[in-house]
Amino acid sequence: MRADYIEVGGTRSFVLEEGSGQPVLCLHTAGQSGVQWRDVQPRLAALGYRVVVPDLPGHGRSEPAVGGPDRAPADARRPSGRARCAERPDRR
């Protein structure tokens, strides 16, 4: 297993890599880190994959994103100020 920091968009990001072969990118869920893949990573590597597990910006051992996270609710970013839904055709 290799552990390293890489520069991405002006931010240092932590990445674990294990194995060789076809790459598999394992992304963690919000509020977590690459540790979430600790049991799966060696199994995938044993099957012949190159497993890449980054800590996303602001998570785990990675630095926060430049300018910080966008914390505005999705609805506030829409031009209308509210969520839009696709209209459903009338069913009769």
Any idea what the CATH number is for the domain that residue 50 is in?
3.40.50.12270
Specify if 58 maps to a domain.
Answer: yes
Structure confidence by residue, pLDDT tens digits, 39-73: 999 999 999 999 999 999 999 999 998 887 656 55
The Cα 13–Cα 25 span in angstroms is 15
Specify if 83 maps to a domain.
Answer: no
Structure confidence by residue, pLDDT tens digits, 5-50: 999 888 999 999 999 999 999 999 988 999 999 999 999 999 999 9
Specify if 12 maps to a domain.
Answer: yes
- Specify the number of domains making up the chain: 1
pTM of the model: 0.71
**What are the C-alpha distances in Å from 40 to residues 34, 36, 43, 44, 58?**
11, 9, 5, 6, 23
The Cα 81–Cα 21 span in angstroms is 47
